[in-house]
Amino acid sequence: MSRSYTFLIGSPKPSGSTSESLADHLMGRLESEGERVSKVSVRKALASEEAMNDLLDRVQSSDVIVLCFPLYYYTLPAICLEAMTLIRRRYSEKAPTQGLLAIVNQGFPEESHAEQALESCRSFCDHVSIGYIGGLVMPAGGVVNGEPLMKVRGRVRSQIKGLNMAAMDLVNGDPIGSTAAKAMARPPMSPWLYRIIANRNWKRMARKNGTMKQLKDRPYA
């Protein structure tokens, strides 16, 4: 019997986010296996009570929740935390039976930076009695830049492999396996090269916006 999945896109971007790119690929794989999927933007849902109630209804009626989000300051974006608070409030009325999968993308090339965010997701699951299916971390997510994974292809071969394996774990009703997690967490390029490119992009944006002199400012230090 097929299962239903609600993908929550936790990126604050209006469109074209890496979170959505990762979600779209996994959704496509699940659909090809006969599973039922739907996708909701957390940002848009929080814009109105009607949209938020629709998100809550979808979440509560799903077999699996997939939360896709970018790493912000070692944790989840504020919109995700707000949605999780509202979900917890709704679940106080009725105990759920779902499982939750967290998919994190981050600018850092090291997987370890996402540990705190994944621990927050595990804690959320404990509080609302949802089974924690697992967490997938994509480092150096900037290489995707909101493009479909099959378009980026070569640079994200390992992430495509990891998501494909995760899809089969989900279809079989299993937790996300370590093989899928390791494939997902493999950096799409060498960390030293990624840092060079990232620093170059920061400087290019700073020149464009006239903020080169402020790059090393530490206003909250």
Q: What is the CATH number of the domain that holds 136?
A: 3.40.50.360
HSE value, Cβ hemisphere, 13 Å, CA-based, for 22 = 36
Q: Residue 220 has what DSSP assignment? A: T
What pLDDT shows up at residue 116?
A: 96
Tokens of 124: 């959320």
Cα Dmax for the chain: 59
What pLDDT shows up at residue 97?
A: 61
**How far apart are the C-alpha atoms of 70 and 72, rounded to whole Å?**
6
217: in domain: no
Show the domain range for 205. Answer: 4-212
Stated pTM of the model: 0.89
221: in domain: no
What pLDDT shows up at residue 94?
A: 57
Q: Single out the residue of 20, 7, 19 nearest to residue 170, CA to CA.
A: 7
219: in domain: no
What pLDDT shows up at residue 196?
A: 82
Tokens of 73: 């300051």
218: in domain: no
What pLDDT shows up at residue 195?
A: 78
201: in domain: yes
Which residues partner with 178 through β-bridges? none
What is the number of domains present in the chain?
Answer: 1
Q: How many CB atoms lie within 10 A of CB 73?
A: 8
27: in domain: yes
Tens of each residue's pLDDT in the chain, 221 residues: 789 999 999 999 988 899 999 999 999 999 999 999 999 999 999 999 999 999 999 998 999 999 999 999 899 999 999 999 999 988 776 555 689 999 999 988 888 999 999 999 999 999 888 999 999 999 988 889 889 999 987 889 999 999 999 999 999 999 999 999 999 999 987 777 777 877 888 888 889 999 988 888 888 76
What pLDDT shows up at residue 90?
A: 84
220: in domain: no
Q: Single out the residue of 8, 126, 20, 121 nearest to residue 64, CA to CA.
A: 8
What pLDDT shows up at residue 103?
A: 98
Residues 75, 76, 81, 87: what is their CA dihedral angle, to the nearest 10 degrees? -120
Which residues partner with 46 through β-bridges? none
What pLDDT shows up at residue 95?
A: 53
Strands of the 131-138 sheet, one edge to the other:
36-41, 4-9, 64-70, 99-105, 131-138
9: in domain: yes
Burial of 28 (0-12, 13-18, 19+ CB in 10 A): middle
What pLDDT shows up at residue 108?
A: 85
What pLDDT shows up at residue 213?
A: 86
Tell me the Ramachandran region of residue 110: left when phi exceeds 0, alpha when psi lies from -120 to 50, beta otherwise: beta
